[in-house]
Structure 1
């Protein structure tokens, strides 16, 4: 396999499952292995190490200096890992046909810092934009429609932030680590996603997009 080294690229892998040895964690570890082989600088974080509460009414709980008053480590995750990242891979189990509550809380809590009521919101929006995005899902069901909700959410998040939604990997399993037995080899696919996140071709055409008649040279 060709070396796709991107030593300056920073990748955040955010895991929405609380299980450190579950299927989402196994898939995240595979993404990390692939990204590190490609030379990326990788941070792997579990959302519940940083987030202890849901978004509240910022008008009533925002501090006088504009900061969020919820006493957890979300700010560190958002400012130290998410904003500086060139790419983010979101890894989540499918719960009730959506991402986990921990993962959803990450997106919701970001509102506190990109809302106009935050002093540096314009800078935050700039730093949130133009990332390379990947999604890795684990579920017990093989039903294809089970993944549509999470995929649509990340698709629209990517479009909202002018980011490139590069790829999706889904592993099937129930007991911890069972995705390793999935015949579709999602661990290999997750590793490949991490390896190629910053180099793989991405296209999202509009009617006026310049393009030729071939996809591959």
Structure 2
């Protein structure tokens, strides 16, 4: 059994990102994992600032919200992270961008808890769920690429991306591409999906799936 955190980065609690996130929760629980769900807006209120001016006397971040609680008690202990976000201006939601911006406060050389946070962030399996009203696939490519780079930088595996098209609350349920099934499958197989990133000098056999003969 693994620990999975499903994080909804939309300010709406019953919108399309929430709907995708709940599908991932169901899939991960079906696989027998310990699953926790969190609304990002319950924890992140303050923007990233200048650490040289806003650290307290102990060196800790002094932004007065629940970011530290989210990061240290939920994100860091999790083995897998599923992030659901609406597409805002062809990128992630502002709250989610702030979440990643503020990682600097806990991972820089001057952070008092930096080593523990870095150790807890690395090695995770990550899945991305995107809700947007455009079916044009190019609309979500920038956000997908950004998450690929975030995962690369943090030594995480981005195991998959599911996109649900809809605008009105819960409308992704009507998307004929079945994004809720995709989200549930990502939650279910979060730790089973194989991620490969070959280089020209990577040693590998001529088989992708071990044990398959045809």
2:177 is matched with which residue? 184
Partners in 1 of 2:171 and 2:112 — Cα distance? 46
CA contact (8 A) 2:72 2:117 kept: no
1:14 is matched with which residue? 7
Partners in 2 of 1:108 and 1:143 — Cα distance? 28
* Partner deviation per Cα, 1:129-161 (whole Å, 9 max, x = no partner): 111011000000011111112111110011011
Partners in 2 of 1:41 and 1:89 — Cα distance? 13
1:125 is matched with which residue? 118
Local SS of the residue matching 1:193: helix
Partners in 1 of 2:32 and 2:204 — Cα distance? 30
Local SS of the residue matching 2:6: strand
CA contact (8 A) 1:24 1:93 kept: yes
Q: Which runs of 5+ in 2 are unaligned?
A: none
**1:1-217 to 2 correspondence within 5 Å?**
7=1, 9-216=2-209, 217=212
CA contact (8 A) 1:35 1:194 kept: yes
CA contact (8 A) 2:91 2:142 kept: yes
Cα drift, residue 127 of structure 1: 1.4
TM-score by length of 2: 0.96
1:3 is matched with which residue? none
Cα drift, residue 90 of structure 1: 1.0
Partners in 2 of 1:120 and 1:139 — Cα distance? 36
Local SS of the residue matching 1:64: coil
CA contact (8 A) 1:15 1:103 kept: no
Partners in 1 of 2:171 and 2:185 — Cα distance? 19
Local SS of the residue matching 1:11: strand
